[in-house]
Amino acid sequence: MAQPGSPSALQPELAPLIADIQSRGLRIEQTGETTRVGGAGPSDAGMISIEGVFITAPVGAGFVADSPYSLREDVFGQWAIFKDDERIASAEVAARPEFYDLSTDDGIPYWKIALLHLDSLASTVVQTCAYWGTDDQCTFCGIELSLESGNTIPAKRPEHLAEVAVAAKELDGAVDITLTTGSTYGPDKGALYVGRCAEAMHNASGLPVEAQFEPPDDLDVLNRVHDMGVSAVGMHVESFDPTTLAEIAPPKARTGIEGYFTAWERAVEVFGEGQVSTYVILGLGEDPDLTVAGCKRAIDIGVYPFIVPLRPVPGSLLEDLLPPDARYTESIYRQVVPYLLERGIGSWTVSAGCARCQACSGMSLIEQELVELSAPEETRTLIPVRSVD
């Protein structure tokens, strides 16, 4: 697969195409290793390269059947993107990672322990959540769906994760690790177990690790996780609109937006500016003004607000919703990204995790317009976003 920074990534006509595909979805005939089904966060991710640019796009939700975009072979037997019956861009599909063919000594396939998301090794270390199946369940979440389908195991052991990390790095070129977990009712919300897993993986592979979890009741947990070798942390508020937050994630609403800011401030003290992030999901009925104001306030304290369009996960409580229009997501990106860069924070400054990867968002596309000329050696080659008619 082509790497970020290839000359083709500079073609500006790709921007509206990628933005529209991420909104309307991509029909794909052979899923195989190109897709991720279920999962804890915005998911339903088809992982491909379009003209050398890494992206993920919705592939499994019902609305994708109406998308004009499809991934299929052209007359030359090469992967390509088609709009209706017109070939509009070349594409590449990642080969099956080599480490997927390996198993632990006790017979657990490596792919049930961690998956390769483009160049990032990712695992939900505990695939159950205390809120699942209750009135507190986050409506966008699909954490236990992949467990129910048999695609993973309930809990991953640190020593097994370490094995997989080494193999993913050596065989498939993984460059970082992203770990998340279902929440527990304990005061650490599951963070310490994520830290144990991160410690084992980092010590074995040397790869940087982002750990994702709810804000712990005792913020000293953040120091303990840092001491275990975690280099970045994600505590995801999901929405800065309190009304929307209460509807989509009741436990997070009880923590409250102010509770998240308190945790983020402590985390920035521990991990540093730009190494703390939060998902911000668009398309949930949120107030855009509150969204932008919340993102800017987070940036002011050194937090990276990773903005993504909703991807309704089949089987989740929001499976019947549609993603937001690309023009809406672009309008939010364009208000937030310049402010982010003014603080000296960008995707290239993040050590590990979703904000480093950027394939699920259009934020890094806006970065290209603002930073390519001033600091090309410090950034990945990206493309500008333009409105889709």
Instruction: Report the chain's terminal Cα–Cα distance, integer Å.
Output: 30
Give the residue ranges of DSSP H helices in the chain: 14-24, 145-148, 158-172, 191-205, 220-227, 242-248, 250-271, 288-300, 326-342, 354-357, 363-371
Here the tokens at position 370 are 């603002």
DSSP secondary structure letters along 45-67: EEEEEETTEEEEEE-SSGGGGG-
What's the confidence (pLDDT) of residue 147? Answer: 82
Cα–Cα distance measured from residue 2 to residue 250, given in angstroms and rounded to the nearest whole number: 41
Cβ-based neighbours of 35, under 8 Å, separated by 6 or more: 28, 44, 45, 46, 47, 59, 60
What is the pLDDT, as a whole number, of residue 118?
Answer: 87
pLDDT tens for 285-333 read 999 999 999 999 999 999 999 999 998 988 999 999 999 999 999 899 9
- Cα separation, 231 vs 189, in Å, equals 19
Tell me, what's the pLDDT at 239? 98
DSSP character at residue 126: B
What is the reported pLDDT for 362? 85
The structure tokens listed for 361 are 């968002």
For residue 87, give the amino acid letter.
Answer: R
Give every residue of the chain whose pLDDT is below 70, as ranges. Answer: 1-13, 30-45, 372-389
Q: What are the CA-CA distances from residue 59 to residues 24, 248, 338, 369 (Å)?
A: 9, 23, 30, 28
Domain at 98-378, CATH from 3.20.20.70, 3.55.40.20, 1.10.10.10, 3.30.2320.50: 3.20.20.70
The pLDDT of residue 369: 72
* Parallel, antiparallel or unpaired: strands 35-36 and 45-50: antiparallel
Please tell me whether residue 221 adopts helix, strand or coil conformation.
helix
Q: Which residues contact 58 (CB under 8 A, 6 or more apart)?
A: 22, 25, 26, 44, 45, 46, 64, 311, 312, 323
| The two three-digit tokens of residue 34, written as one number | 């190109």
Q: What is the CA 64 to chain-centroid distance, rounded? A: 20
Every domain of the chain and the residues it spans? 7-93, 98-378
381: its two tokens: 């080659």
